[in-house]
A and B are shown apart, each in its own frame.
Chain A
Amino acid sequence: MRGREDEWTGLMRSAMAGDDAAYHRLLKAIAPVLRAAARRGLSRAGQPPDQAEDIVQEILLAVHLKRHTWDSEAPFAPWLFAIARNKLIDALRRRGRRVFVNIDDFAETLPGEAPQETASANEVTAQLNTLPQRQRDVLQSIAVDSASIRDTAAKFSMSEGAVRVALHRGLAALTAKLRDH
C-alpha cells in the first residue's frame, strides 16, 4: 500500500514537471483503484455497479482539471481519494434524484436525443456530442483515433496551439456538463 502510494506521488511530481508519459502511467495505475471504489460505493447505495465507469471518468476529469490544487510536497493519495469521495457522493446523489424524476426527464428530452443506452452506458460520450464542433473534433481525434496533437492539427488545418486550447476547453466544458446535467 505504502509503496504504491509513494510511487503515485513520484509519478505525479514527474507529471507536474512536464513528463506526459509519467502522467499517463499514473492515470492508468489509479483507474482500477477508482473503479473498485466506485463499484463498492454503488453497491452499498443499492445501485447497479455497471455505472461505475461513468464515475471513474468523472473522477479522472476532476483530478486532471484540479491538479494545480495538489501540493507537490504532500502525498498524492489523500488528495486523490478526497476528490474520488467527493465525486462518488455527487454521482450517487444525482442518481438518487434522477431515479425520482426519471419519467419527466424522458418525456421532455427523448425526441432528438442520442440513443438511450449510449447515454446511460457512457455519460462522457453523451456530453461529448453537445460540445462545439471544433472541440468535439479535437477530442475525438485524440481519444478515439489516438492521433497526436501534431497529427490532429494537420488533419483539421489548425495550429498546434489551437488544438491544445480546444482540447483543454473541451475537457473543461465536458466536466462542467457532467457536473451540472
Chain B
Amino acid sequence: MDTDQLIRTLAADNAHRAPRVGAMLTMALLVAAPLSILIFATFLGVRADVMSAMRNPFFDMKFAVTLSLAIPAIIVSLHLSRPEALMRGWGWLLLLPVGLLAVAIGSEAMMAPAMPATMRLMGKNSRACLMAIPAMSLPLLAGAIFGLRHGAPARPALAGALAGLLSAGLAATLYATHCTDDSPLFVATWYTIATVVVTGIGAAVGARVLRY
C-alpha cells in the first residue's frame, strides 16, 4: 500500500470519533472501583469508632493526604496522555501530599503526643496496610492503565507510574477509613511504602502496554 492510498483510507475513516482520554479514564475507574470496594468490604470494613475518630484532626488529615495524592496524579496523568506534553511545571503538584505530611508530622510533634514516636510510627496495622493498599490498588491500576492506553504518552513508564500513584491514592483513601493508626508518622512510613510498590508495578506495566 503506498502512502497516498493509506492517506485516502485514513481520510475515509475521519468520521470515526473517539472519546477523550479523560472520559475513558473516568469510565475505566468507575468500572474498577466496585472491585476495590468489594475487597475493602470483605476483608476490612470501616473502623468501629469512626464517629469519634472524625473529631481527631489526624484522622481527617489522612484523607487530605491520600486525596492530595490521587487527584493531582489523575490531573498529571491526563496531561501526560498528550504526546507533546512535558512533565515540566506539573511535577510540583505531586509534592502536595509530601508537604501536607510534613506539616502534620510537625504539628503532631508540637502537641505533646500520648505515645512515643517509634510506637506511633510502627502502629498496629503496618502489615495490613502493606497488603491492603496494594491489593485494593490493583483493580484501579488495571482500570487506570486501560483508560490511559487511549492516550499517547511520550514516556510510557512515567505514565504507568502515575497510574500507580493515582490508584494507590484512591485505595489508600479507602484504607484510611479502616485503619486505626492516625499518626502522620505511620502514614508517612507505611502508606508511602505501599504507594511506592504500586507505583513501581504501574511503571513496569506502563512501559510495556502504554506505548502507542
Contact = CB atoms under 8 A, between A and B. Distances in A.
Contacts of A139: 9
Interface stretch (B14-22, B102-110, B189-197): B14-22
A135 B157 CA distance: 32
- Chain A interface main SS type: helix
Contacts, number: 108
A144 B10 contact: no
A148 B11 CA distance: 11
Contacts of A71: 82
Contacts of A68: 17-21, 150
B66 to A, nearest CB: 29
Nearest to A176: B212
A60 B6 CA distance: 8
A65 B8 CA distance: 15
A70 B19 CA distance: 12
B3 A60 contact: yes
Contacts of A66: 83, 151-152, 212
Interface string B195-211: 00000000000000001
B9 A143 contact: yes
Contacts of B6: 57, 60-61, 124, 143
Interface of B: 1-21, 81-84, 150-152, 154, 211-212
Contacts of B82: 69-71, 79
B10 A86 contact: no
Interface in A162-181: 164, 167-168, 171, 179
Contacts of A168: 13, 16
Nearest to B17: A68
The 3 closest A-B pairs by CB, nearest first: A82-B84, A24-B11, A82-B83
A33 interface: no
17 contacts: A18-B14, A23-B10, A23-B11, A24-B11, A27-B10, A27-B11, A60-B10, A62-B152, A64-B10, A67-B18, A68-B21, A79-B83, A124-B1, A128-B1, A144-B1, A164-B16, A179-B212
Contacts of B9: 139, 142-143, 167, 171
Nearest to B6: A57
